[in-house]
Amino acid sequence: MKNVNSLLGGLGTTIFTVMSALAAQHQSINLGQGFPDTDGPPDLLEAAAAALFDGRNQYPPMPGVPELRQAVAAHDARFYGLDVDPMTEVVVTPGATEAITACLMALLDRGDEVVLIEPLYDTYLPVVRLLGAVPRLVRLMPPDWELPRTELATAFGPKTKAILLNTPMNPTGKVFTAPELAFIADLLVRHDAYAICDEVYEHLTFDGWRHIPLMSLPGLRERVMRIGSAGKTFSLTGWKVGYVTASAPLAQVVAKAHQNLTFTTAANLQRAVALGLAKDAAYFQGLAAHLQAKRDRLAAGLVALGMTVLPTRGSYFITARFPSARLQR
């Protein structure tokens, strides 16, 4: 028989699936896949359940139900001062995962270069390659995960179409700073490039660190596609509801990609997420504070076992170093 797609045929199973299967097999605590150990807010669960019974279970509008698009726009205005038109500048997708693929599809032609910052989330590279685009990789190094500015500037060139930026960052726990974002902004303008910003951990920052969307920097509103995830913001990772905010011309093309991937997103979940995004400040503060407390507890436990733990400013992740003699049998 003829070969299947060469890229996907050779791709391994994602590490998250591997780790979760091993945890189930060995009945161990599963720290290998990023998801909370509690369910999300009960009022969202109730709203999603109730929404199944009011006769709106057929295909919802392709770019998202109006309630959720309005809620995303209101959220972006409330937290970041962004002025977003809910009708033309928001696209709802089944999870940020699809949003990332749809944004890459919307921008990339064969041969275009995309700047990616390692260590990186595992869907980025395969999708960039499937689209025939060329990744230009820049690596952050522990313990500080500082942006290597010279290398980043060198990665940009005449063929650069976009950067894919993840902040707060999986798996480093880095939150990009205002000067780092300004440096990236300058490169984008100088090279006439776009940014796809994976900001799924936008509300999960610790110790006073604040997430700054690249889109909110001067001159970048039209160049940036901003991606959020209800899974992370409401501790409901199984729901898979994501949202893209972008200028109308970009959002229109993202919607075309979405139209050809899944067309739409579960209607009842969208309506529940719309309620969630309107929650008061105490909810969002509480979410980060609870996770920060869990981060501290886990880090203290790992340190007590003899591991070295790097600081985590945001996200679900901790970086720990194993090679202590105490761990060897």
**Within 212-271, which residues bind ligand PMP (CB under 6 A)?**
229, 231, 237, 240, 242
Long-range contacts of 53-56 (CB under 8 A, 24+ apart): 56/267, 56/268, 56/271
Task: Name which of 191 and 284 has its Cβ closer to ligand PMP.
Answer: 284
Least distance CB 155 / ligand PMP (angstroms)? 20
Q: Are 11 and 17 in contact (CB under 8 A)?
A: no
Cα atoms in the Cβ-side hemisphere of radius 13 Å centred on 129: 12
Alpha-carbon distance 54 to 274, whole Å? 16
Number of residues that bind ligand PMP (CB under 6 A): 14
Which stretch in 95-103, 125-133, 182-190, 244-252 sits in contact with ligand PMP by CB under 6 A? 95-103
Least distance CB 241 / ligand PMP (angstroms)? 7
Task: Name which of 174 and 191 has its Cβ closer to ligand PMP.
Answer: 174
34 interacts with ligand PMP by CB under 6 A: yes
Residue with the shortest CB distance to ligand PMP: 95
Least distance CB 79 / ligand PMP (angstroms)? 18
**Environment class of 153 (CB within 10 Å of its CB; exposed 0-12, middle 13-18, buried 19+):** middle
DSSP state of 205: B
121 interacts with ligand PMP by CB under 6 A: yes
Task: Name which of 160 and 229 has its Cβ closer to ligand PMP.
Answer: 229
Least distance CB 190 / ligand PMP (angstroms)? 27
Among 170, 235, 264, 312, binds ligand PMP (CB under 6 A): 170
Contacts of 293 (CB under 8 A, 6+ apart): none
64 interacts with ligand PMP by CB under 6 A: no
Q: What is the CA radius of gyration of the chain?
A: 20
Dihedral sign (CA 98, 87, 239, 74): positive
Alpha-carbon distance 206 to 186, whole Å? 27
Which stretch in 17-25, 38-46, 93-101, 217-225 sits in contact with ligand PMP by CB under 6 A? 93-101
Least distance CB 158 / ligand PMP (angstroms)? 29
Least distance CB 33 / ligand PMP (angstroms)? 8
Task: Name which of 160 and 233 has its Cβ closer to ligand PMP.
Answer: 233
Give the rounded distance of the alpha carbon of 141 from its chain centre.
Answer: 21
**Environment class of 311 (CB within 10 Å of its CB; exposed 0-12, middle 13-18, buried 19+):** middle
**Within 178-217, which residues bind ligand PMP (CB under 6 A)?**
198, 200
Least distance CB 170 / ligand PMP (angstroms)? 4
- By residue count, the chain amounts to 329
State the residue for tokens 């979760």.
20
Among 70, 97, 101, 264, binds ligand PMP (CB under 6 A): 97
Alpha-carbon distance 179 to 146, whole Å? 11
User: Which residues make up the interface to ligand PMP (CB under 6 A)?
Assistant: 34, 95-97, 121, 166, 170, 198, 200, 229, 231, 237, 240, 242
